[in-house]
């Protein structure tokens, strides 16, 4: 069970490799952790390991993985980027699949390229991801054949290598930008004398453009060998048969006669701090990081496992303190957090802290992070904090245990991958939950408080900061940052005061109401009740998850009913209310009051509707409904929380438009809405100045005050005898609904005719193309579905032409839709990144693909591919609570007949090539569309 939660502001490159490892050694005689009994594991004579587990969530599916314990860190100097290039070549020809046949075959059985079929390469590993149907023996056998080919049968056809160069270089181009430029500056400093500093997985462009076939074949033959591989199979399968298949397919693989040593690289120790401070004009945030490195050790004993739980408690309390400070009117930073784990190498772990500072307040943000670490070092935590952390930890394990037979196969496969690569223990959730129940209470505050002392040491420190380049912004020097750290490592700070939180949310129960009518929709096995206040409630009981109830309620209206003068206050209304807490509780007090309770409740106000949504364990459903009642009746004003929200948003906005991607998104939104101030785009400082706390709360209350104005749906493990009285109690009160509010069409429309807009931003040779086809014609449900299907066909054909044939893009996407709100219209969008020099050629090619469908229709092959993918997706959706919640309320909102939900299968069967061709002709005008293209500044 993976426990570490990583910060969202650490570099994505590093995030992909982090894992949780503690810093202690095994003592002789300690009790070893068990290995989960339900997992079949073994090792073939050639050294290949396998892990097999039967799991029926989802049914009739199996998650296959080929895990190669080799990545970019093993590349020779002339191979930089070829570990990743090898991954690409796995889809471009092998022993049993010529050129692109592999992708085409998988699409024919409902497996989507990218969404399902995928792979990744990192510093230390390459992992191939293949989820396939398991209810077809031929498909299952082909799945193992594909893994076998990846493991030892890639063709590396020279022509295919040359075609794939363009695709990989486009992926390289896509990764360029402020973060990569800064990464290339600070990585050699913080990973000093380490192989990781010089082996980024994407590699070097000049090598990608010119390497010889021998170089990539050499990498494949050196490192794709059975003694560095594992096969993982988790799903609805016969374990014995799968084991025999793995032996048959992989037993014949041989290791090279002269094996190269698979070195496990670490991060060298450093006596003096390693400090890197970098900036870039296109960066958007000031991010400070400090790491205290140490050698990592495997978790193999119960004592080590206990220590990992102590670390989890420590991090939970530490991060709660840092989060609490965000509620100040003028918070010291935008975000902050701590974590324990590897920055990159499996051989090295670290205690790390990070803070996203505000422009003009760098020292304040960094100092506050350091002060909180120092406070824990001096005074530790208090008993109430430990109680809260223990309740939350226990709740997480309890939920995982209750869902032990409903866990997703993909998550279990990921756990086994980590076990093979990182030695993460896999004792099984039953062992883990029982262990937590028996031992959690025995963990003392002194044990948790001692954690910080194991980490804060003068040696092996690494500090780095990334920042934008702003007028008037002066970055600290390395010596100044070190002086801040030295100051706080000796500073005497006061202990936090202990706060005791009342956990009884409501002091008295509401009057409530009664059910006045009950009916059923037999076709979808759903009960419908109407309450005395007019509220309508759908109840669908399922067995898809053991410990889950989802609910949502909506009413028409939303931000659209707000007058122009209140637009910005209305837009922020739900955030203002959510961050202000509820009833007598501030936001942070509410989180602590709900410790150990498995619920989430969130009010929302979107453009055309207002509502509230949530989830709960069946045992906590009353608490979920109590919170829902409080949002209707006990909204709270918190001036400090409001100021924190506005100040943090202003700090984020200060430099956000320096980033080409955000700048382009903003421009595109304004073009599509013809600069209507309600039409989207990134808010300005002046827009934020218009947000008034009292106006925001008043608008929220105008939308969410009478529960009778709403339509609700509950889906999941429902006990109706318990739930219906609770619904009556908490949602049935208030006045009889007379709600006649409806959303308002504010007349926001895209421009007509042929629009060709060029946006210039950024220094990298990168372009992004967005082509939008709009048609304001009468909405028909069938045509909306056909438009969606057209988008899926375009996805396949655009990849074939723009990526595989022209090697001009790494990825391309198309999506079609129809809508009746706020006006009848259809939309088709095509989007792709590419080199600026290729824009016109690729746009012309994309238009050619659309015209070909209009003139010649869709091939039977591609029609069958999208229909099979839709069938397979629907098979899964039928057994997901979230699907039923969404589809029931969507049908209700649009006035559709809910008995027709069951006809979704028939709709797929009836879909024809003519249906798709018809909407392509009717709603997609290749002579009148909106094209917005991002170019670098240098081309303006």
Give the separation between CA 91 and CA 102, rounded to whole angstroms.
6
Is the per-residue pLDDT at 29 higher than 70? no
pLDDT for residue 9: 30
Inter-residue contact 772 to 809 (CB < 8 Å)? no
For residue range 556-612, list pLDDT tens digits in order.
999 999 999 999 999 999 999 999 999 999 999 999 999 999 999 999 999 999 999
Token pair, residue 387, equals 């109680």
CA dist 55 and 242 (Å) reads: 13
Q: How confident is the model at residue 489 (pLDDT cuts 50, 70, 90)?
A: confident
Per-residue pLDDT, 114? 87
Q: Give the mean model confidence (pLDDT) for residues 87-111.
A: 96
Q: So what's the pLDDT on residue 27?
A: 52
pLDDT tier, 740 (very low <50, low <70, confident <90, very high otherwise): confident
* Exposed/middle/buried for residue 859 (C-beta within 10 Å: 0-12, 13-18, 19+): middle
Please spell the DSSP secondary structure of 803-855, one letter per residue. IIIT---S--EEEEEEE-SSS-EEEEEEEEEE-GGGHHHHHHHHHHHHHHHHH
Residue whose C-alpha is closest to residue 45's, from 262, 243, 251, 257: 251
Q: Give dist(CA 467, CA 447) in Å, integer.
A: 37
Q: What is the pLDDT of residue 736?
A: 85
Rg of the chain on CA atoms, in Å: 29
Same domain as 870, residue 799? yes
Shared-domain flag, residues 103 and 198: yes
d(CA 29, CA 826): 69
Residue 61 pLDDT greater than 90, yes or no: yes
pLDDT of 8 higher than 90: no
Q: Are residues 330 and 445 in the same domain?
A: yes
As a dihedral over the C-alpha atoms of residue 292, residue 295, residue 300, residue 301, rounded to 10 degrees, the angle is: -60
Question: Which phi and psi (to 5°) does residue 303 adopt?
Answer: -65, -40
For residues 664 and 616, state if they share a domain. Answer: yes
Report the C-alpha gap between 708 and 536 in whole angstroms. 8
231-252 pLDDT per residue, tens: 999 999 999 999 999 999 999 9
Bond prior to 515 in cis (omega within 30° of 0): no
Instruction: Assess whether pLDDT exceeds 70 at residue 14.
Output: no
Domain boundary among 222, 250, 278: 250
Q: Does residue 898 form part of some domain?
A: yes
- pLDDT for 737: 79
Residue 850: pLDDT band (50, 70, 90) is very high
Flag whether pLDDT at 16 surpasses 60. no
307's tokens: 């220590």
CATH code: domain of residue 227? 3.30.830.10
**Of 232, 119, 95, the residue nearest 168 (C-alpha):** 119
Q: Residue 10 has what pLDDT?
A: 33
Identify whether residues 280 and 422 lie together within a single domain: yes
Beta carbons within 8 Å of 811's beta carbon, 6+ residues apart: 114, 174, 803, 832, 833
**In this structure, what DSSP letter does residue 656 have?**
G
Residues 61 and 166 in one domain: yes
CA distances from 268 to 22, 75, 776 (A): 18, 19, 63
Q: Is there a contact between 68 and 74 (Cβ–Cβ < 8 Å)?
A: no
Q: DSSP assignment of 461-481, as one string?
A: EEEEEEEE--TT--PPPHHHH
d(CA 322, CA 201): 34
Q: What is the mean pLDDT of residues 915-926?
A: 99
In a domain, 32, yes or no: no
565 Cβ partners below 8 Å, 6+ apart? Answer: none
For the chain, give the percent of residues with pLDDT over 90.
Answer: 94
Strands (E), 532-658: 536-541, 549-556, 599-605, 609-616
392-407 average pLDDT score: 98
Q: What is the pLDDT of residues 630-689, one digit of tens each?
A: 999 999 999 999 999 999 999 999 999 999 999 999 999 999 999 999 999 999 999 999
Write down the mean pLDDT value for the chain.
95
Q: Which domain holds residue 406?
A: 266-490
Task: Tell me the sheet residues that pair with 832.
Answer: 769
411 lies in the same domain as 354: yes
Compute CA distances 538 → 64, 81, 157, 711, 891, whole Å. Answer: 38, 54, 57, 8, 12
Q: CB atoms < 10 A from the CB of 528, how many? A: 19
Clarify whether residues 760 and 694 are in a common domain. no
Please calculate the CA angle 743-744-749 and round it to the nearest 5 degrees.
Answer: 120
pLDDT, mean of residues 196-207? 97
Q: Is residue 700 part of a domain?
A: yes
- Whether residue 900 sits in one domain with residue 778: yes
- Whether residue 770 sits in one domain with residue 702: no
Is it the case that residue 335 has pLDDT exceeding 70?
yes
Q: 932 and 786: one domain?
A: yes
In a domain, 536, yes or no: yes
Bridge partner list, 556: 609
CA-closest candidate to residue 219, choices 50, 89, 403, 413: 89
Residue 423 counted as domain residue: yes
H or E segment at 527?
strand 526-531
Determine what percent of the chain is predicted with pLDDT higher than 70. Answer: 97
- Per the domain annotation, does 796 fall within a domain? yes
Among 202, 224, 250, identify where a domain stops.
Answer: 250
**Listed residue (795, 772, 568) closest to 669, CA to CA:** 772
Q: Is residue 495 part of a domain?
A: no
Q: Is 270 found in the same domain as 123? A: no
| Residue 391: both structure tokens together | 């309740």
pLDDT at 4: 32
Q: Is 759 in contact with 934 (CB distance < 8 Å)?
A: yes
Instruction: State the Cα–Cα distance between residues 501 and 499, nearest whole angstrom.
Output: 6
CA-CA distance, 668 to 759, in Å (whole number)? 9
> Which of 217, 250, 283 lies at the terminal end of a domain, its last residue?
250
Q: Looking at the domain assignment, is residue 502 inside a domain? A: no
Domain count, the chain: 4
């Amino acid at each position: 069970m993976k426990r570490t939660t990583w910060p969202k502001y650490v570099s994505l490159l590093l995030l992909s490799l982090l894992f949780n490892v503690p810093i202690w050694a095994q003592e002789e005689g300690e009790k070893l952790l068990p290995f989960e009994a339900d997992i079949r594991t073994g090792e073939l004579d050639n050294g290949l390991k396998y892990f097999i587990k039967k799991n029926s969530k989802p049914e009739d599916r199996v998650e296959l993985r080929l895990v190669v314990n080799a990545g970019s860190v093993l590349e020779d100097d002339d191979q930089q980027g070829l570990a990743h290039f090898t991954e690409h070549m796995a889809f471009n020809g092998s022993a049993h699949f010529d050129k692109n046949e592999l992708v085409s075959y998988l699409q024919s059985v409902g497996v989507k390229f990218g969404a399902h079929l995928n792979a990744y390469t990192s510093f230390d590993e390459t992992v191939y991801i293949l989820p396939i149907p398991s209810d077809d023996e031929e498909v299952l056998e082909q799945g193992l054949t594909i893994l076998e080919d990846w493991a030892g049968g890639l063709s590396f056809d020279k022509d295919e290598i040359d075609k794939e160069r363009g695709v990989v270089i486009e992926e390289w181009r896509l990764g360029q930008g402020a973060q990569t430029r800064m990464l290339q500056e600070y990585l050699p400093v913080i990973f000093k004398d380490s192989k990781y500093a010089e082996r980024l997985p994407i590699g070097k462009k000049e090598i990608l453009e010119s390497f010889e076939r021998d170089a990539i074949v050499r990498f494949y033959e050196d490192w794709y060998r059975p003694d560095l591989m594992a096969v993982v199979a988790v799903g609805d399968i016969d374990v014995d048969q799968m084991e025999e298949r793995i032996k048959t397919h992989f037993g014949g693989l041989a290791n090279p006669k002269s094996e190269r040593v698979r070195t496990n690289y670490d991060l060298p120790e450093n006596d003096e701090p390693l400090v890197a401070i970098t900036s870039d004009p296109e960066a958007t945030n000031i991010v400070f990081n400090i790491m205290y490195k140490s050698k990592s050790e495997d978790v193999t004993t119960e004592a080590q496992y206990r220590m990992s739980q102590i670390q989890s408690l420590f991090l939970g309390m530490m991060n709660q303190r840092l989060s609490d400070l965000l509620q100040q009117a003028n918070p010291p930073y935008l975000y902050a957090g701590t974590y324990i784990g590897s920055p990159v190498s499996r051989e090295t772990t670290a205690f790390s802290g990070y803070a996203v500072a505000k422009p003009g307040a760098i020292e304040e943000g960094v100092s506050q992070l350091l002060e909180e670490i120092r406070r824990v070092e001096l005074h530790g935590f208090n008993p109430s904090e430990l109680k809260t952390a223990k309740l939350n930890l226990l709740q997480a394990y309890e939920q995982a245990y209750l869902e032990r037979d409903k866990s997703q196969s993909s998550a279990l496969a990921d756990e086994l991958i980590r076990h093979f690569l990182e030695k993460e223990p896999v004792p099984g959730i039953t062992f883990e939950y029982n262990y937590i129940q028996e031992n959690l209470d025995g963990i003392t505050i002194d044990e948790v408080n001692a954690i910080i002392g194991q980490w804060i040491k003068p040696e092996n420190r690494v500090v780095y900061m990334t920042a934008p380049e702003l007028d008037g912004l002066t970055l600290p020097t390395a010596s100044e940052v070190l002086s801040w750290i030295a100051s706080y490592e000796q500073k005497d700070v006061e202990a936090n005061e202990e706060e005791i939180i009342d956990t009884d949310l409501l002091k008295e129960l509401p009057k409530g109401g009664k059910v006045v009518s009950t009916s059923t929709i037999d076709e979808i096995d759903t009960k419908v009740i109407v309450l005395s206040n007019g509220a309508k409630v759908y109840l669908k009981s399922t067995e898809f998850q053991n410990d889950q109830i989802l609910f949502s309620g909506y009413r028409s209206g939303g931000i659209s009913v707000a007058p122009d003068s209140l637009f910005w206050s209305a837009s922020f209304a739900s955030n203002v209310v959510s961050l202000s807490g509820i009833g007598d509780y501030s936001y942070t007090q509410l989180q602590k009051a709900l410790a150990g309770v498995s619920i989430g409740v969130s009010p929302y106000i979107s453009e055309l509707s207002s509502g509230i949504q949530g989830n709960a364990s069946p045992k906590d459903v009353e608490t979920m409904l109590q919170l829902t009642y409080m949002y209707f009746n006990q909204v709270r004003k918190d001036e400090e929380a409001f100021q924190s929200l506005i100040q943090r948003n202003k700090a984020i906005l200060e430099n956000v438009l320096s980033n080409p991607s955000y700048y382009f998104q903003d421009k595109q939104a304004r073009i599509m809405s013809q600069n209507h101030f309600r039409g989207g785009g990134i808010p300005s400082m002046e827009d934020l100045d218009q947000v008034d706390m009292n106006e925001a709360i008043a608008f929220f209350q105008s939308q969410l005050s009478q529960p009778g104005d709403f339509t609700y749906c509950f889906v999941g493990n429902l006990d109706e005898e318990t739930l219906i009285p609770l619904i009556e109690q908490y949602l049935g009160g208030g006045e009889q609904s007379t709600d006649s509010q409806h959303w308002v069409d504010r007349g926001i429309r895209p421009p007509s005719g042929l629009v060709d807009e060029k946006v210039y931003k950024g220094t990298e040779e990168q372009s992004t193309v967005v082509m939008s086809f709009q048609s304001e014609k009468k909405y028909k449900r069938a045509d909306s579905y056909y438009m969606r299907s057209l988008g899926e066909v375009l996805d396949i054909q655009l990849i074939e032409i723009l990526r595989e044939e022209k090697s001009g893009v790494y990825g391309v996407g198309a999506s079609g839709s129809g809508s009746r709100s706020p006006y009848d219209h259809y939309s088709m969008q095509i989007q792709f990144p590419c080199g600026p020099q290729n824009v016109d050629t690729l746009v012309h090619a994309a238009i050619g693909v659309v015209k070909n469908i209009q003139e010649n229709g869709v091939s039977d092959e591609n029609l069958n591919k999208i229909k099979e993918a839709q069938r397979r997706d629907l098979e899964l959706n039928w057994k997901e609570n979230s699907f039923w919640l969404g589809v029931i309320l969507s049908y209700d909102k649009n006035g559709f007949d809910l008995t027709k939900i069951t006809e979704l299968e028939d709709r797929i069967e009836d879909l024809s090539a003519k249906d798709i061709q018809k909407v392509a002709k009717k709603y997609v005008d290749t002579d009148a569309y909106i094209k917005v293209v991002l170019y670098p500044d240098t081309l303006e």
